[in-house]
């Protein structure tokens, strides 16, 4: 039998579609789940994924990837590699597993929603592969840390984190509910695949894989690059979707969805990647600063996309660019201070050599954040560790759920007022860390109004006893699970 090349049969098989006779189009694609009704049924047929893959090729590729990655893991897990990893790097991977494993699995729900409620057969086909990808990512990222349990019991936070009310878990869960679990197909394509995956995670996974190899963590490196290859394929669903919207006169809606999620993605990134790149990754393995990474990769990529699709930079672009110099430094300080509330060991990352690097990458760091660390260093040196723990909960933003750190913004010259932004909706007061977070809320308050931040829960008596012990128990952290300084304060003693 002659072998047809993919291009000879692909479109025909891919575009196989139904004509509905017993049900209405609306009943099959309810707007709440589809989000596609702005554009007519015929117009959606123009949806075309740039990179094509057949089911046979997909399965073949995935089997190969799994075989390679799992056999590498088997080979390595019998060695001492994990014991010898830098303590900061161990925190990078523990934080990653806890914050990312379950969202990957949940992303299969988002992909499946597009696979069912996307309006073009081509789109549903591409999303079907995406759903399979995300199931794989959930499983493989649960299995790898399972292998760490003997050496690091908190590897189980890969599964556990999302089933607790840990503050990071609350933040990540609220974000991903907004982005894909409780979202419609069109919005998922724009917000998950176009904004988060194409714009941020794809690039970050590339960098993380390279860092992992550099620090000698071949297992994690192989895992991350294997995942990234899938991500790169299913992330392409955003492009054709935004193109259909724009070609049919709905650029404004696309722009809104992207503006909304770009900010939220930035917040999550500052927390997870910002700390990892600038404080946890060992100095000798840092190829670029977090700021350089965002500028050279994320901004460049978005600038190209905005240009290609005639989109505008989000209205808060200046504020975003200014934040690159200070926001994640402030969050790092809070996370380190509140280290017992996270399931990894935050690495202060402020040894003399690291401080020099920080000052070089972020001129002025010594004057703003360095001063704060001077005080902490002094307390550690004089044995006054108790003084390095805070007593009160920082206020949390009702959108990003992260601590409100505007005071640090004032120090850095980015804000004039340290007070949180306030907004009253249906009699309830909401607090925000920034104009964009407030904007996200006020554009669609019904979407967010019912949610309680960790501080709201504290103030309404859900956390008892209302003290640090009560908070830690509420967050699911038994004593051995609570984070400690990653290097036992080596940085404070000149090390």
Q: What residues make contact with another protein under the rule CB under 8 A?
A: 6, 50-53, 61, 202-203, 206, 229, 232-233
323 interface partner picked from another protein, Fe ion, none, CB below 5 to 8 A per type:
none
Q: Which of 14, 136, 137, 267 binds Fe ion (CB under 5 A)?
A: 137
Q: How far apart are CB 229 and another protein at their closest, in Å?
A: 5
Alpha helix segments (H runs only) across 248-343:
251-269, 275, 290-293, 300-309, 317-323, 327-337
Paired residues of 270 in beta bridges: none
The structure tokens listed for 307 are 């240009």
Q: How far apart are CB 192 and Fe ion at their closest, in Å?
A: 7
The structure tokens listed for 223 are 């895992």
Paired residues of 425 in beta bridges: 428
- Quote the CA–CA distance of 417 and 434 in Å, as a whole number: 11
- Identify whether the C-beta of residue 221 lies closer than 8 Å to the C-beta of residue 251: no
Which is closer to Fe ion, CB of 240 or CB of 409? Answer: 240
Q: How far apart are CB 52 and another protein at their closest, in Å?
A: 6
- Identify whether the C-beta of residue 458 lies closer than 8 Å to the C-beta of residue 466: yes
229 interface partner picked from another protein, Fe ion, none, CB below 5 to 8 A per type:
another protein
Q: Write out the DSSP string of 234-271.
A: HGGGHHHHHHHHHHTT-HHHHHHHHHHHHHHHHHHHII
Residue 324, C-beta contacts closer than 8 angstroms, at least 6 positions apart: 290, 291, 294, 295
Q: How far apart are CB 309 and another protein at their closest, in Å?
A: 13
137 interface partner picked from another protein, Fe ion, none, CB below 5 to 8 A per type:
Fe ion
Which is closer to Fe ion, CB of 211 or CB of 231? Answer: 231
Paired residues of 398 in beta bridges: none
- Identify whether the C-beta of residue 118 lies closer than 8 Å to the C-beta of residue 124: yes
Check residue 348 and report its DSSP letter. Answer: -
Nearest Cα neighbor of 396 from 421, 374, 413, 425 is 421
Q: How far apart are CB 10 and another protein at their closest, in Å?
A: 10
Site string for Fe ion, 352-381 (x = CB under 5 A): ------------------------------
- Quote the CA–CA distance of 167 and 396 in Å, as a whole number: 10
Tokens 């240009």 sit on residue: 307
Q: How far apart are CB 111 and Fe ion at their closest, in Å?
A: 7
Q: How far apart are CB 65 and another protein at their closest, in Å?
A: 11
Q: How far apart are CB 44 and Fe ion at their closest, in Å?
A: 22
136 interface partner picked from Fe ion, another protein, none, CB below 5 to 8 A per type:
none
Q: Considering only 69-77, 131-139, 273-281, 427-435, which stretch makes contact with Fe ion by CB under 5 A?
A: 131-139
- Quote the CA–CA distance of 296 and 307 in Å, as a whole number: 16
- Nearest residue to Fe ion by CB is 137
104 interface partner picked from another protein, Fe ion, none, CB below 5 to 8 A per type:
Fe ion
Site string for Fe ion, 72-111 (x = CB under 5 A): --------------------------------x-------
Q: How far apart are CB 61 and another protein at their closest, in Å?
A: 7
52 interface partner picked from another protein, Fe ion, none, CB below 5 to 8 A per type:
another protein
The structure tokens listed for 65 are 């990837």
- Quote the CA–CA distance of 476 and 168 in Å, as a whole number: 12
- Identify whether the C-beta of residue 179 lies closer than 8 Å to the C-beta of residue 110: yes
Q: How far apart are CB 133 and Fe ion at their closest, in Å?
A: 6
Site string for Fe ion, 217-236 (x = CB under 5 A): --------------x-----
Under the criterion CB under 5 A, does residue 267 sit at the interface with Fe ion?
A: no
Which is closer to another protein, CB of 227 or CB of 402? Answer: 227
Which is closer to another protein, CB of 97 or CB of 129? Answer: 129
206 interface partner picked from another protein, Fe ion, none, CB below 5 to 8 A per type:
another protein
Which is closer to another protein, CB of 84 or CB of 308? Answer: 308
318-329 core/surface letters (b: 16 or more CB in 10 A; e: else): ebbebbbbbbbb
Which is closer to another protein, CB of 65 or CB of 291? Answer: 65
22 interface partner picked from Fe ion, another protein, none, CB below 5 to 8 A per type:
none
Burial class (CB in 10 A: 0-12, 13-18, 19+), 154: buried
- Which spans of this chain sit near Fe ion (rule: CB under 5 A)? 104, 134, 137, 231
């Amino acid at each position: 039998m002659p072998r047809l090349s993919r291009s000879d049969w692909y479109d025909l098989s891919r575009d196989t579609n139904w004509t509905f006779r017993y049900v209405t189009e609306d009943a099959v694609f309810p707007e709440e789940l589809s989000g596609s009704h702005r554009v007519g049924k015929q117009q959606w047929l123009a949806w075309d994924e740039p990179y094509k893959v057949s089911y046979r090729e997909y399965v073949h590729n995935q089997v190969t990837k799994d075989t390679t990655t799992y056999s590498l893991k088997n080979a390595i897990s019998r060695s001492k590699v994990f014991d010898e990893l830098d303590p900061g790097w161990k925190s990078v991977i523990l934080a990653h597993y806890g914050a990312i494993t379950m969202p990957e699995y949940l992303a299969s729900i988002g992909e499946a929603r597009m696979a069912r409620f996307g309006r073009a057969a081509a789109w549903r086909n591409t999303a079907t592969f995406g759903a399979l990808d995300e199931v794989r990512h959930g499983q493989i990222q649960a299995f790898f840390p399972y292998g760490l349990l003997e050496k690091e019991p908190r590897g189980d936070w890969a599964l556990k984190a999302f089933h607790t009310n840990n503050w990071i878990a609350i933040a990540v869960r609220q974000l991903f509910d907004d982005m894909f679990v409780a979202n419609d197909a069109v919005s998922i394509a724009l917000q998950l695949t176009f904004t988060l995956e194409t714009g941020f995670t794809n690039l970050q996974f590339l960098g993380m894989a390279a860092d992992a190899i550099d620090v000698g963590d071949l297992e994690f490196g192989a895992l991350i690059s294997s995942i990234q290859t899938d991500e790169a394929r299913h992330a392409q669903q955003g492009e054709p979707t935004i193109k259909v919207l724009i070609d049919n006169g709905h650029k404004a809606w696309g722009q809104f969805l992207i503006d909304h999620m770009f900010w939220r993605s930035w917040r999550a990134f500052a927390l997870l990647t910002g700390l990892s790149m600038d404080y946890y990754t060992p100095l000798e393995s840092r190829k670029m600063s977090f700021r350089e990474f965002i500028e050279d990769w994320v901004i460049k990529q978005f600038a190209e996309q905005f240009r290609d699709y005639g989109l505008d930079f989000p209205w808060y672009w200046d504020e975003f660019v200014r934040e690159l110099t200070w926001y994640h430094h402030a969050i790092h300080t809070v996370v380190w201070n509140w280290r017992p509330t996270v399931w990894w060991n935050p690495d202060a990352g402020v040894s003399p050599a690291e401080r020099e690097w920080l000052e070089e990458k972020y001129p002025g760091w010594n004057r703003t954040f360095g001063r704060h660390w001077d005080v902490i260093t002094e307390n550690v040196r004089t044995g006054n560790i108790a003084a390095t723990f805070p007593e009160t909960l920082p206020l949390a933003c009702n959108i990003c759920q992260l601590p409100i750190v505007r005071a640090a913004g004032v120090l850095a010259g980015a804000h004039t007022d340290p007070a949180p932004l306030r907004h009253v909706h249906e009699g309830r007061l909401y607090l925000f860390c920034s104009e964009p977070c407030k904007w996200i809320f006020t554009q669609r308050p019904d979407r967010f109004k019912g949610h309680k931040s960790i501080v709201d829960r504290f103030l309404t008596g859900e956390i008892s006893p209302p003290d640090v012990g009560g908070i830690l128990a509420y967050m699911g952290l038994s004593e051995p699970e609570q984070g400690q300084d990653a290097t036992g304060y080596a940085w404070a003693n000149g090390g």
